[in-house]
Structure formats: C-alpha cells, structure tokens
A and B are shown apart, each in its own frame.
Chain A
Amino acid sequence: MKSAPSHRLRFGIGLALALALGIGLDVLLLAGARAADARVRAERQAIVTLNALTDVVVGAGISGDPVRTAVAAWSKSHPSLAAIRVIAFDGISLEASTDPKDSGDRAAPRRLSREEKDAYDRGQRLRASVETNRQEGAARKEEIEVAAADGGALDLAAPLEKDGEVAGMLEIRTATPPPPAPIPVSTALLYFFAPLAVYAAAALLLGERRAPLAVAASLLLALVLFLFARQTLRILDADRVETDRQVAARVGQETGLAGGLVAPGAAAVDPAKWDTDVFRHPRPGAAATPPGGAERRGRNVFFGVAIGAFALLAFFGLGLAARLGATLSRHRVAYLYIVPAMLAMIVLVFFPFLYGVAISFTQQTIYNTGQPLSHLWVGLQNYGHILGDFAVAKRAPDGSLAFNYLNFYWTLLFTIVWTVSNVTIGVTVGLLLALILNTAGLKLRPIYRVLLILPWAMPNYITALIWKGMFHRQFGVINQVIQIFGGQPISWFDKPFTSFLTALSTNGWLSFPFMMVISLGALQSIPGEIYEAARVEGASRWQQFRAITLPSLKPSLIPAIIISVVWTFNMFNIIFLVTGGEPGGSTEILITQAYKFAFERYRYGYAAAYSVIIFLILLAYGTVQNRVTRATEGL
C-alpha cells in the first residue's frame, strides 16, 4: 500500500479496460445494427415482391385458373419464396397455393377448412385496416402484415382489391435467409492490441511521469475509438447503399416478370408503387435518403461509448480505482456481510424504484410498452397534469356540486380524512380499553385481552373480505340488524359517505388492538405509588389522568401514532377489497388510485408519476416525523 503507485501500470490497465469496453460495445452495436439492416433489407425486398405479385393476382382476376397459372409461374422464378397462397373472400376459398401443405387432396382450389380460421381472420383484419384508413384518409392501420416465421423467414400478407373493395388476401412466406454477417473478431483484436503495444513503447520512453502518460493514453484511446467508429459507420453506410441497390434490382426483376404474366389490357401493374412501407405508402427513393438521421444517431451512440471509455481510463489512471480497492479490502469483512442483502435490495428494490421514476417522465401505456422509454419521454407533463388540475368540483346545471373523483386533490383530501379519522378512532378506542383493562382487581382480564387482540392477528385481506360480506346489501348481517330495529336496508357502496363508513369500520376494527397493546404496556410501567401520592394530595381522577397517565403514555404512544399514520395512509388492502373505490372512485386513497391508473386504465406513466408524488409526501412526513421523535426523546 505504501509503495509508490506505478502510473505507467495504472494508465496501462485503464487503457486496456477502456479499449475493451469501447471496442466491445462498438462491435456489439455494429452487429446489432447490421442485423437490423439485414431485416429491413429482407422486409423491403419481400414487400416489393408481395406488391408486384398483388398486382399480378389482381390483374388475373383474384380467382380462377389464370391466378393459379400466374402464381405457379411466379413461384418457379422465385426460389426465395417458400410459399404463396391466394385466398378469395367470395366463397372463402383458397384459390392458389404453392405451400407444400396444400398438396394432394388439400390442393387449391378448395374451401378454407375450419382450422384455417387464423388465415381468414387475418384477411378480415386487413380488410378492416384498409377500410379504416380509407375512411379516415390517414395511414393508421397497417395494410401489410409482416410476421416473423421460423428461422428468420418472413410471413407477409396483403389485401387484394377489386373495384375498390377488398376481395381477397395474398400471403407469401420467404425462404430462410442466409446467416448474418459474422462479428469481425480479428479487426477488433487488432484495434485492441495495437494501441496497447504503442502505449507500452511510449511508457518505456516517458518513464513514471503522470501527465505525459495521461496524454499518451488519452490520445491513443481517442484515436482508436475514432478510427473504429469511422470504419463501423462506413460499413453501415455501405450496407444501406447495398440495400437500396438490391431493392431497386428486385423492382426491375419483378417488373419484367409481372409484365409477362399480366395481359396487356389489365393495366394494374405499377412498379413505382412497389417499394412501400407496411401502410402501402411509397418509401422515399434511394436518392432521397441522404445519410441523415440514422447516421447522426449512430454518431451519438459512439460518442456515448467514448465517454464511458474515457471515464474508465480516468478512473483507473488517476488512482481512484486503487483507492476504492483499498477501501474495499480494508473493510472487506463488513462489505462481505452486507453484499448479499444489498445486492438483493439493489436488484429488486432500488433499481425498480429508479425505473419507475423514469417511467413517470414518459407517456407509457399498455399499448406502447415495446418502445424504448426515450421515445415516450414527456418530461414533467404527467406531474403537471396531476398537480395542475384543480377542477375538483363542477357546478352542475341544477346548481348542485358534482365532484370529479379522479382529481388528485379529491383523493388527497379523502386520504387525509381517512387517515385522521382512523388514527383518531384507533387511539381513542385503544386507549379507553387499555385504561379499563389496567384496572386493578378486574376479573377475566387475560381473556378479554386475548379476544380483543384477535383482529390484529388476523390477515388483513381476510378481515377486509369478511367485512365486505357483512356489508352486503341483501344478505349482509349489518342490514339485517338495521331491519330488526325497523330501518331500511342501506346500499352501502352507492354513496361516498356510507362507502367510507364501511372502510372506516373495517379498519377501525383491525387497528385498535395495536394502540390498545401499546397503551397497556405503557400503563403497566407506571408505578402505582405515584397515583397513591396524588390521591393523598387530593387530586381528582381527571387531574391524575392529565398529570400522570398522559405524560407517561406519550413516549410510546407518539411513535405508535406516527407509524400507524403511515400504515393507514397506505392501507391498500382495506380500500381495495372493501369499497374498491365505489362509487365512481370517490373512496379511493392515493395508493389505490395509483394502482387503478396503472392496472385498470393502463396509464403506466401517469400512474408512476402519481406514485412518485405519494413517495414525496411520505418522505416529507418522514422528515418531519424524525424531528418530532427527536423532540420527544429529549423530554
């Protein structure tokens, strides 16, 4: 530890790790990008073929022998297609097929069989999409379905139109594509070892001088990363040019073929409309796509990787890593004990929390979970919508107030009322029963005590479901009791107030034992002589309670109240299972409302922002609580 650190070694290790990180990531990114490009290329070519064949089949009249002839000819000249199927909706028939499964007694033409309902449904989906897009004058629904088949092959389907109506569907399946380009391992290794060799030579020349070593390592790293990135971008660029070339070639090839298959009178063949996206909108031609957005994004990625690599170099080169390592090894026993718990907490608590916070800045819903969060980023918009909406109540035309129960401030208000009333009931009932149970000489005390604690021991979801049953309008016991006394049965969950009462009684029932046990413990620790002395002084019962009992209860009762405020504030099970927010979400507390936004309205981003606000409220409460408890400890 005391021996002078070797700067040469540190920068050398830093450079090696930085190169490994930078080049490793770049190689992976390159492989990923090339695979994506290959997919795009295959899909574009397949779509060109699909569109060309669509024109041919429509030109041949969708059904009948001409279609079968055309499809057979098409299939013969396309080894890249594993199967072609033409389905006509009129008669639900398979008009033509080159699928090996459709041979023998299943050969076209025939009616679709029952187990081919999937194919029929697919056709109807496409028909609906085309009609929707036409009505809206927009491209919202995909008019070409592209699905991945086994082994990287593509399975495409397009609608066949006749006289402006979708009258059939064309399906094609491509053959299995060739394996993807291999990762350029040797190039990567060269880029890794060459700079290390150069650095080693430079280090011998420079000796143990920190600044020149840092400059040398940085320059080498920057140069290598720049060269590698440039080469990578060139490869990707070449890929894209090649894609455009191949697609153009495919269009030319299909033009010749289609021209031969379609009778000259039927004019439908239009090669200019073949290179389309899945909405059947023409893609901009090759000339119209200058190396723009995609390349800029590529550069940003490389830039990010480079920053990471430099951070690594600095971390090791400047000795921070060595210092961290020294700290870890000095306290290694302590860290060893903590690592298992900490690791579990990081993976399953802290990381999910941060991920949730990230979601809160997006407009993620159940419909766009496939997209990366950065595409859905909306900044503080969710928070603005939640906190900036003050329309808690509207005046209805007849002058009465109509509350908007989904409004944040309504729910906040309800949560506060819910918490305060529950804690008040809990403390009052619990303290009262504790005082009674503490009476000296009272018989049967242990039995009362055990029975009164039962609600605390019961799992609270069971309690909640029991009370929900007892509040049932028709069969519930509580309405029976009301009717015994001549009252009318009440629909408990139809009005916010009565609904609130059901949850309140449930929670009151299960929460008073805690307060009772706490108070009882504190009461029993008060020495009897104090009361004796007070009585000698002539103090009344009330005076004794105020002067002796309450102050002695304070140290244990205040923490108990603080903790039960948090419990009640977050008492998910009771609200969720008893009232379920009925009627109309009026009896939701914040935590159940957040749950509903996430899992009933599927607005993940909004629900996450809602939850973060709950967290901030609790954090503020915790901070204040800390002050208060410290104050009481000082007493």
Chain B
Amino acid sequence: MSRRNKEELPHSLLHAILLVATLVTVYPILWVLTIALSGKQSLAIADLPATPAVSDRLRAVIPWPESISLANFRSLFTDQPFTRWLINSAIVAAATTLLGIFLAATAGYAFSRFRFPARRVGLMSFLVSQMFPGVLTLIPLYIIVVKWLGLGSTRTGLVLVYTTTAIPFCVWMLKGYFDTIPRDLEEAALMEGASPLTIFRRIVLPLAKPAIAVTALFSFMTGWNEFILAATFMDKENMYTAPVGLRFFVGGFSQQWGYFAAGAIIVSIPIVALFFFLQRYLVSGLTAGSVKG
C-alpha cells in the first residue's frame, strides 16, 4: 500500500487541478446567476468608479451581486411575454418528443426486425440526411412550411420540422437497441397468436425503455434548444419560443442582460435536470450510434 502511494501523484496536487478546472467551469454559470439576481439589466457585476482601484475591479469579477433582488425574475413573468414563450417551447418540445418517439420507434422496429427491398437504401438515406447542411434546406423548408402548408408562426409547423430533424438519430438509436433484444420472446408470442402490433406494443416497447428514454431526451432537447429554425418560422413576437425570446433580449441593439440571465436559468433548469437523469444512457447511445455510423 505504501509503495503505491509513493508512485501516485500527491492528492493535493490533483485537487488543485480539479479545483481550478471546476472554477473555470462553474464561473460562467455563477456569473449568469449573479446577473439574474442583481435586479439590473447591466452585464457588469458591479459599477466601477471613474478610476477604479484593484479592489473595485476585484468586486466586479467576484460572482456575487451587490444586492440580491428577484426583480428580474418577477418582471420576466409580468412585464415580458416570457411565460408565453416558455409555454410555446414546452408545447413544441413535448409534441416533438411524442411524435418523434412514435415515428422513430415504428421505423426503427421495421428496420431491425424485417428484411424487405430498399431496407438498406432507407437506412443509409437516414444516415446521409444527417449531413445535409441546415442552411441548404432552410429556404425550401420555409417555402414548404410557410407558403405551401400555411404553417408560418404556428407551433405545428415547428413541431413537424423538429421531428424530422430528430428522426434519423432516433431511428438509428432505436434500431440498434431493438437489434440487441432477443427474438425468442416475440416468436413465442407469435405462436400464441398475438398480432405484430400487439407484440410491438406489449413486448418490444417495454423492453426498449432505456433507448426510448434517450430518444425522448434527444427529441426534447431538439425542440427545447433549437433557435435558427424557430427564428425563421416564428414572425410574431407572441409565437416566439424561449430561445428566440432570450436572444431577443440581448441580440441586435437590445442589452437586457438581466432578463436574459434570469430567463437562461429558467430555461436551463429542466434540460439540465433531464440531462443528469438520463446522462449515462446518452453516452452509451451516442458512442454506439457513431460506431455503427
């Protein structure tokens, strides 16, 4: 035991490195918290005098507000249409998740269990579609969704577009997972006279819960975090999603950093929580997907 300790680097040094790394990691988040709780719109933590001393500057760097106030959060929900944007985002993300899982689970199951003409072409086309640059499809999508389908500034249009963004990854992910589920159970059920649909719903889907969880997380994140498509399709301010709204606070000539910070925290909390909850599935899913890619 003593020999081993001699060979290891001293733990104090490791702690020092980890502390520095953690500080750098956490600082921007503390900074946002500080701005959010400052009750002001300024992006400076503290106002500097005309000729600041080092202590003044230090004050402006330490992530602790001069006075704690919930004013930013309060007026976000009262003066600003932020509640509306949050609701938009929640509806869009939830609908994207549901639709995404439905479409990806059915297609993934067929790709995993059946052998049929054009199966390989279908799988490869999903993979290649991941490489389509978003900019290329943005203008045609605008024409289709806004001009042809008349879904501009509606949540339905956004849900459709987000779902198709998420489908390829989800299909590959679920197909990979279905492949690992042994077929014996299904064959036994088939013997009992169960229909393919029953087998799919009663046997396969429950077994694939972990993969479906990852698919759900991925679809939800797509809907919750996306901002370029939303900014393109949502013309009306009351139809903004949360990302578009947050950018609205600090983009262009607008400098409402307090609102932005408070909003950023509110928007991040659900997604960070979900992320930690499902994180280990996400890692295995991502690497599995890329190995197959």
Chain A residues with a Cβ under 8 A of chain B: 327, 331, 333-335, 337-338, 340-342, 344-345, 347-353, 355-357, 359-360, 429, 432-433, 436-437, 439, 441-444, 448, 450-463, 465-470, 472, 475-477, 480-481, 483-484, 509, 517-518, 521, 535, 541, 556, 559-560, 562-563, 566, 570, 572-573, 576-577, 591, 594-595, 598, 604, 607-608, 610-612, 614-615, 618-619, 622, 625-626, 629, 633
Contacts A349-B129, A352-B140, A480-B57; A461 near B247 (Cβ below 8 A): yes
Chain B residues with a Cβ under 8 A of chain A: 7-9, 11, 14-15, 17-18, 21-22, 24-26, 28-29, 31-32, 35, 42-45, 52, 54, 57-58, 60-61, 102-104, 106-107, 109-111, 113-114, 116-117, 119, 122, 125-129, 131-141, 143-145, 160-161, 163-164, 167-168, 171, 196, 221, 224-225, 227-228, 243, 246-247, 250, 257, 260, 264, 267-268, 271-272, 275-276, 279, 283, 286-287, 290-291, 293
Residues of B within 8 Å of A348, CB to CB, are 141, 144-145, 160-161, 164
Residues of A within 8 Å of B102, CB to CB, are 340
B128 near A465: Cβ-Cβ < 8 Å: no
A338 near B107: Cβ-Cβ < 8 Å: yes
A615–B57 alpha-carbon span in the complex (Å): 47
Give 29 A-B contacts (CB < 8 Å), ordered by A residue. Answer: A331-B114, A331-B117, A334-B119, A337-B109, A338-B110, A338-B111, A341-B104, A342-B107, A348-B141, A348-B164, A357-B136, A432-B17, A437-B18, A457-B279, A458-B29, A459-B224, A459-B268, A462-B246, A468-B250, A469-B257, A483-B57, A509-B25, A518-B283, A604-B139, A608-B136, A611-B136, A614-B136, A615-B131, A629-B293
Contacts A337-B110, A439-B11, A452-B22; A469 near B138 (Cβ below 8 A): no
* With A456-B275, A483-B52 already in contact, 18 other A-B pairs whose C-beta atoms are closer than 8 Å: A334-B116, A338-B111, A341-B106, A352-B144, A355-B143, A439-B9, A453-B276, A458-B271, A462-B246, A465-B246, A468-B250, A469-B31, A469-B35, A470-B28, A475-B43, A594-B135, A626-B293, A629-B293
Residues of B within 8 Å of A444, CB to CB, are 15
A461 near B107: Cβ-Cβ < 8 Å: no
Which of B42, B138, B144 meets A351, CB within 8 Å? B144
A509 near B28: Cβ-Cβ < 8 Å: yes
A383–B104 alpha-carbon span in the complex (Å): 36
Residues of A within 8 Å of B58, CB to CB, are 484
A594–B137 alpha-carbon span in the complex (Å): 12
A572–B225 alpha-carbon span in the complex (Å): 13
B140 near A463: Cβ-Cβ < 8 Å: no
Residues of A within 8 Å of B28, CB to CB, are 463, 466-467, 470, 509
Q: B263 — nearest CB in chain A belongs to which residue?
A: A462
A465 near B264: Cβ-Cβ < 8 Å: yes
Contacts A338-B107, A451-B22, A484-B54; A333 near B276 (Cβ below 8 A): no
- Tell me how many residue pairs across A and B have CB atoms closer than 8 Å: 257
Residues of B within 8 Å of A619, CB to CB, are 128, 131
Residues of A within 8 Å of B114, CB to CB, are 331, 333-334, 337
B228 near A341: Cβ-Cβ < 8 Å: no
Q: B46 — nearest CB in chain A belongs to which residue?
A: A480
Contacts A442-B11, A465-B247; A448 near B22 (Cβ below 8 A): yes
Query: Closest Cβ of chain A: how far from B173's Cβ, in Å?
Result: 13
Which of B14, B32, B42 meets A475, CB within 8 Å? B42
A354–B202 alpha-carbon span in the complex (Å): 39
Which of B44, B45, B125, B161 meets A350, CB within 8 Å? B125
Contacts A352-B144, A480-B60; A470 near B31 (Cβ below 8 A): yes
Main secondary structure of the interface of B (DSSP, over half): helix
Query: Closest Cβ of chain A: how far from B214's Cβ, in Å?
Result: 14
A333–B196 alpha-carbon span in the complex (Å): 8
Query: Closest Cβ of chain A: how far from B83's Cβ, in Å?
Result: 19
A359–B140 alpha-carbon span in the complex (Å): 9
A615 near B132: Cβ-Cβ < 8 Å: yes
Q: A632 — nearest CB in chain B belongs to which residue?
A: B291
A569–B54 alpha-carbon span in the complex (Å): 41
Query: Closest Cβ of chain A: how far from B158's Cβ, in Å?
Result: 11
Residues of A within 8 Å of B106, CB to CB, are 337-338, 340-341
A611–B140 alpha-carbon span in the complex (Å): 13
A439 near B14: Cβ-Cβ < 8 Å: yes
Q: A354 — nearest CB in chain B belongs to which residue?
A: B140
A465 near B260: Cβ-Cβ < 8 Å: yes
A466 near B133: Cβ-Cβ < 8 Å: no
Q: B138 — nearest CB in chain A belongs to which residue?
A: A598
Residues of A within 8 Å of B287, CB to CB, are 518, 556, 559-560
A331–B168 alpha-carbon span in the complex (Å): 22
A350–B122 alpha-carbon span in the complex (Å): 12
A453 near B290: Cβ-Cβ < 8 Å: no
B61 near A480: Cβ-Cβ < 8 Å: yes
A350 near B228: Cβ-Cβ < 8 Å: no
A462–B287 alpha-carbon span in the complex (Å): 25
Residues of B within 8 Å of A595, CB to CB, are 135, 138, 228
Of the candidates A334, A481, A535, A610, the one having the most CB atoms from chain B within 10 angstroms of its own CB is A334
A594–B168 alpha-carbon span in the complex (Å): 23
Which of B116, B129, B141, B243 meets A345, CB within 8 Å? B129
List the 9 shortest-distance A-B pairs measured between CB atoms, nearest first.
Answer: A611-B136, A334-B114, A337-B110, A352-B140, A341-B107, A355-B140, A331-B116, A475-B44, A457-B275
Q: A576 — nearest CB in chain B belongs to which residue?
A: B228
A335–B106 alpha-carbon span in the complex (Å): 10
A344 near B25: Cβ-Cβ < 8 Å: no
Query: Closest Cβ of chain A: how far from B162's Cβ, in Å?
Result: 10
Which of B137, B272, B283 meets A521, CB within 8 Å? B283
Residues of A within 8 Å of B22, CB to CB, are 448, 451-452
Which of A345, A360, A626 meets B126, CB within 8 Å? A345
A525–B99 alpha-carbon span in the complex (Å): 36
B57 near A611: Cβ-Cβ < 8 Å: no
A347–B70 alpha-carbon span in the complex (Å): 46
Q: B102 — nearest CB in chain A belongs to which residue?
A: A340
Query: Closest Cβ of chain A: how far from B21's Cβ, in Å?
Result: 6
A340 near B107: Cβ-Cβ < 8 Å: yes
Which of A340, A344, A436, A562 meets B14, CB within 8 Å? A436
B167 near A345: Cβ-Cβ < 8 Å: yes
Query: Closest Cβ of chain B: how far from A336's Cβ, in Å?
Result: 8
A591 near B135: Cβ-Cβ < 8 Å: yes
A345 near B137: Cβ-Cβ < 8 Å: no
Contacts A335-B116, A442-B11; A562 near B290 (Cβ below 8 A): yes
Residues of A within 8 Å of B8, CB to CB, are 439
A562–B54 alpha-carbon span in the complex (Å): 45
Query: Closest Cβ of chain B: how far from A520's Cβ, in Å?
Result: 9
Q: A451 — nearest CB in chain B belongs to which residue?
A: B22
Which of B17, B52, B103, B171 meets A436, CB within 8 Å? B17
Query: Closest Cβ of chain A: how far from B205's Cβ, in Å?
Result: 13
Residues of B within 8 Å of A436, CB to CB, are 14, 17-18
Query: Closest Cβ of chain A: how far from B60's Cβ, in Å?
Result: 5
Residues of A within 8 Å of B42, CB to CB, are 475
Residues of A within 8 Å of B57, CB to CB, are 480, 483-484
Residues of B within 8 Å of A618, CB to CB, are 131, 133
Residues of B within 8 Å of A607, CB to CB, are 135
A559 near B291: Cβ-Cβ < 8 Å: yes
Q: A468 — nearest CB in chain B belongs to which residue?
A: B250
Which of A334, A451, A535, A608 meets B110, CB within 8 Å? A334
B264 near A353: Cβ-Cβ < 8 Å: no
Residues of A within 8 Å of B44, CB to CB, are 475
B137 near A452: Cβ-Cβ < 8 Å: no
B25 near A454: Cβ-Cβ < 8 Å: yes
Which of A338, A356, A572, A622 meets B137, CB within 8 Å? A356
Residues of B within 8 Å of A481, CB to CB, are 61
B139 near A359: Cβ-Cβ < 8 Å: yes
Contacts A442-B11, A442-B14, A556-B287; A477 near B60 (Cβ below 8 A): yes
Residues of B within 8 Å of A442, CB to CB, are 11, 14-15
A349–B164 alpha-carbon span in the complex (Å): 7
Residues of B within 8 Å of A472, CB to CB, are 43
Residues of B within 8 Å of A470, CB to CB, are 28, 31
